[in-house]
C-alpha cells in the first residue's frame, strides 16, 4: 500500500476507518513508506544498523529466536520522527545483523480507547505457542496502564489477535514493560513500576495465569524515578538485572541502563555488584534474547539523532554479556557482526607518528591495540586515548587499565559510534554528527600501535 501523492480509494477508506477509531496497521505502514526516500537520503542515517524505513523508533520489543528466525519488534511512531502514537514495528533476520523489514505488527486499538501500544515481549506459553505481552495505554484519564496479550495469526508473526482484558493484576497506575524469563524451572514476569522492578510468576508456565510475587528489586539511592524495560538473564552463575532508569530531572544525562549482579533468592534479588551497561545515555531500553547457540544477547535503542529528517532512532549492534572478575561484567559485539566485514582490511603495525591508512568508507569495524597516547579518526569520527581517558566524539570517559596496552573494538556506522574498550569492560555508544565526513583512516601519537580496519556493508 502506497500513499505517495493523492490517496487512492482504498487508502481513503483506510484513513476514514482509522479516524473513526478502527485499528489498522495498513494506514500506519502507508505513512512510513511515504517517507522512506526522504529518510534514506540523510547522509547521517546508519546503513548497517536495524531501523525502520522511516519515522521514529525506540525500545526493542518481543525479541525472540523462533523457527530459524530472529524477530525484533520495536516501538514505532509511523506518523512522525518524534515520539508518539506508539505502534509495534517488526523485522526479522537469519543472523542478527542482516534484517528484513516487515509490516507494522501492532497498532493501538482506537475503538477500545487505546492510545499507545507500549513495550513488552514475545514468549512461549506452556504449550509452546507464542504469546505477545505489551503495556496498553489508554487515552488520558480513562484507565491505568494494563498488561495485555495477543496471539499470532500466521507463522511469520506478521499479524496478531488481541485477547480480551488484562492478563496481570494491576499494580500502580504506570506499571509497564512486561518481560518473561524462565528461571530455575519457573516462568517469571518482570514489570517496572516507579523505582521498583516487580516480580510476577506464570503458574504452571501458563501466561494466562500470571500472579504477583512481590518486589524483585528496589532502587533506594534517589537516582532512579522509574525502572523502565527490566530484563533478567544469567551471567557467570549469577542473576544479572538490567533496567533503564528514568532519572530525576537534576540527573538528566547520567548514563542509562543500570545493571545489578547478584543472586536470586526466592522472589528477591540480593545485589552483589552494580554498574552501568554503557557510559553514555544514547544507549537505552535494553532487551534480550537467546540466540541459536544458547547465548544471551542484549539489544538496545540508540537515541539522540537530529529530528526533521524523516527518521530517528536505531538499534545498537547485538552484544554478548559475560562475567568478569575485575569489572563484574564485560561486553563484546555478537560474533554475527563480523559478517558485515568486507574483504581486504586496512592494516597498520609499528611505531606511531602520523599514519594515513587509506579510504575505508563511512561504516567501519576497527580492532586496535594502543601502547601509548593516540589520536585517530574512523569514518570521520574523532577518538583519542591519553593513557587514562578515552575521548569519543569530543567527550571523555575513564578507562582504568590494570596494565598493558589498551585494546579497542570500534564500530562506526555514519553517525552511530559503539566503542568496546579494555576488552569490553568499558562501553560507550554515541551519536556523533560530523560535517563533511572524511572517510580516510588516520592515526597519530607515540608508542606502538596495531590497527585492523574493515569496511562494513
Contact 269, 241 (CB under 8 A): yes
Q: Which of 130, 133, 121 is nearest to 156 (CA)?
A: 130
Q: Under a CB-based contact definition with an 8 Å cutoff, are residues 320 and 330 in contact? A: no
- Separation CA 223–CA 240 (nearest Å): 19
Q: What pTM was estimated for this model as a whole? A: 0.95
Domain with CATH 2.115.10.20 in the chain: 35-336
| Superfamily of structural domain 35-336 | Glycosyl hydrolase domain; family 43 (2.115.10.20)
- Name the pairing type of β-strands 55-66 and 311-312: parallel
CA dihedral 212, 215, 217, 221 (to 10 degrees): 140
Distance (Å, whole) CA 420 – CA 411: 9
Q: Are 87 and 117 in contact (CB under 8 A)?
A: yes
State how far Cα 298 lies from the chain centre. 8
Catalytic residue status for 365: no
Cell (9 digits) for 247: 532519572
Count Cα atoms within 13 angstroms, Cβ side, for 377.
16
The per-residue DSSP string of 71-122 comes to: EEEEEEETT-SSS-S-EEEEEEESSSSSEEEEEEEE---GGGTEEEEEEEEE
Strands ordered across the beta sheet of 210-218: 176-183, 186-193, 196-202, 210-218
Catalytic residue among 9, 20, 33, 59: 59
pLDDT score for 2: 31
With H, G, I as helix, E, B as strand and everything else as coil, classify residue 264: strand
Per-residue confidence of the chain (457 residues) as pLDDT tens digits? 233 333 445 445 545 655 555 558 988 998 899 999 999 999 999 999 999 999 999 999 999 999 999 999 999 999 999 999 999 999 999 999 999 999 999 999 988 889 999 999 999 999 999 999 999 999 987 899 999 999 999 999 999 999 999 999 877 789 999 999 999 999 999 999 999 999 999 999 999 999 999 999 999 999 999 999 999 999 999 999 999 999 988 887 787 899 999 999 899 999 999 999 999 999 999 999 999 999 999 999 999 999 899 999 999 999 999 999 999 999 999 999 999 999 899 999 999 999 999 999 999 999 999 999 999 999 999 999 999 999 999 999 999 998 899 999 999 999 999 999 999 999 999 999 998 899 999 999 999 999 999 999 9
Distance between CA atoms of residues 10 and 25, nearest Å: 14
Our measurement of the distance from residue 286's CA atom to the centroid of its chain's CA atoms, rounded to an integer in Å, reads: 5
Q: Which three cell numbers stand for residue 243?
A: 533496567
Residue keyed to cell 483506510: 14
Which part of the chain is CATH 2.60.120.560?
A: 341-455
According to DSSP, the residues that pair with 298 across neighbouring strands are 288, 319
Q: C-alpha grid cell for residue 349?
A: 603495525
Identify the H or E element spanning 18. Answer: helix 9-19
Looking up cell 553514555, which residue turns up? 280
Spacing of C-alpha 413 from chain mean position: 16
**Any residues with CB less than 8 A from the CB of 124 and at least 6 apart, and which?**
130, 131
Q: Which fold has domain 341-455?
A: Jelly Rolls (2.60.120)
- Provide the grid cell at 265: 533468592
Rounded to an integer, what distance in angstroms lies between the CA atom of residue 185 and that of residue 334?
27
Residues 355, 443 contacting (CB under 8 angstroms)? yes
Q: Distance between CA atoms of 183 and 44, rounded to whole angstroms?
A: 41
Amino acid at each position: 500500500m502506497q500513499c505517495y501523492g493523492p490517496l487512492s480509494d482504498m487508502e481513503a477508506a483506510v484513513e476514514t476507518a482509522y479516524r473513526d477509531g478502527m485499528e489498522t496497521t495498513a494506514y500506519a505502514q502507508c505513512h512510513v513508506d511515504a517517507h522512506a526516500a526522504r529518510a534514506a537520503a540523510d547522509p547521517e542515517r546508519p546503513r548497517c544498523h536495524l531501523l525502520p524505513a522511516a519515522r521514529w523508533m525506540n525500545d526493542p520489543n518481543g525479541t525472540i529466536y523462533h523457527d530459524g528466525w530472529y524477530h525484533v519488534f520495536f516501538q514505532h511512531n509511523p506518523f512522525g520522527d518524534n515520539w508518539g502514537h506508539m505502534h509495534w514495528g517488526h523485522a526479522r533476520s537469519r543472523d542478527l545483523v542482516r534484517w528484513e523489514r516487515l509490516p507494522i505488527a501492532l497498532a493501538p486499538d482506537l475503538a477500545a480507547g487505546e492510545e499507545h501500544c507500549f513495550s513488552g515481549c514475545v514468549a512461549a506459553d506452556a504449550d509452546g505457542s507464542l504469546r505477545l505481552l505489551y503495556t496498553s495505554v489508554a487515552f488520558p484519564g480513562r484507565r491505568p496502564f494494563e498488561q495485555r496479550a495477543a496471539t499470532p495469526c500466521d507463522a511469520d508473526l506478521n499479524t496478531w489477535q488481541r485477547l480480551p482484558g488484562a492478563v496481570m493484576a494491576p499494580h500502580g497506575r504506570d506499571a509497564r514493560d512486561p518481560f518473561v524469563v524462565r528461571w530455575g524451572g519457573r516462568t517469571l514476569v518482570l514489570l517496572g513500576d516507579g523505582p521498583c522492578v516487580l516480580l510476577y510468576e506464570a503458574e504452571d508456565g501458563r501466561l494466562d495465569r500470571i500472579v504477583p510475587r512481590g518486589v524483585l528489586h528496589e532502587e533506594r539511592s534517589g537516582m532512579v524515578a522509574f525502572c523502565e524495560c527490566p530484563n533478567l538473564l544469567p551471567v557467570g552463575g549469577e542473576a544479572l538485572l538490567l533496567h533503564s532508569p528514568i532519572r530525576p530531572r537534576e540527573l538528566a544525562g547520567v548514563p542509562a541502563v543500570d545493571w545489578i549482579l547478584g543472586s536470586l533468592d526466592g522472589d528477591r534479588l540480593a545485589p552483589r555488584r552494580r554498574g552501568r551497561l554503557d557510559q553514555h545515555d544514547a544507549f537505552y531500553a535494553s532487551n534480550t534474547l537467546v540466540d541459536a547457540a544458547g547465548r544471551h544477547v542484549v539489544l538496545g535503542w540508540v537515541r539522540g539523532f537530529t529530528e526533521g529528517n524523516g527518521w530517528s532512532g536505531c538499534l545498537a549492534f547485538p552484544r554478548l554479556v559475560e562475567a568478569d572478575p575485575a569489572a563484574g561484567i564485560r561486553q563484546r559485539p555478537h560474533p554475527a557482526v563480523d559478517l558485515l566485514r568486507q574483504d581486504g582490511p586496512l592494516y597498520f603495525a609499528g611505531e606511531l607518528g602520523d599514519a594515513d591508512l587509506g579510504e575505508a568508507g563511512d561504516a567501519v569495524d576497527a580492532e586496535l591495540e594502543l601502547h601509548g597516547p593516540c589520536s585517530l579518526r574512523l569514518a570521520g569520527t574523532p577518538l583519542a586515548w591519553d593513557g587514562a581517558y578515552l575521548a569519543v566524539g569530543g567527550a571523555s570517559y575513564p578507562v582504568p587499565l590494570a596494565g598493558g596496552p589498551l585494546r579497542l573494538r570500534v564500530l562506526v556506522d555514519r553517525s552511530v559510534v559503539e566503542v568496546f574498550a579494555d576488552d569490553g569492560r568499558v562501553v560507550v555508544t554515541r551519536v556523533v554528527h560530523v560535517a563533511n565526513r572524511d572517510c580516510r583512516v588516520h592515526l597519530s601519537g607515540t608508542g606502538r600501535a596495531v590497527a585492523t580496519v574493515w569496511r562494513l556493508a
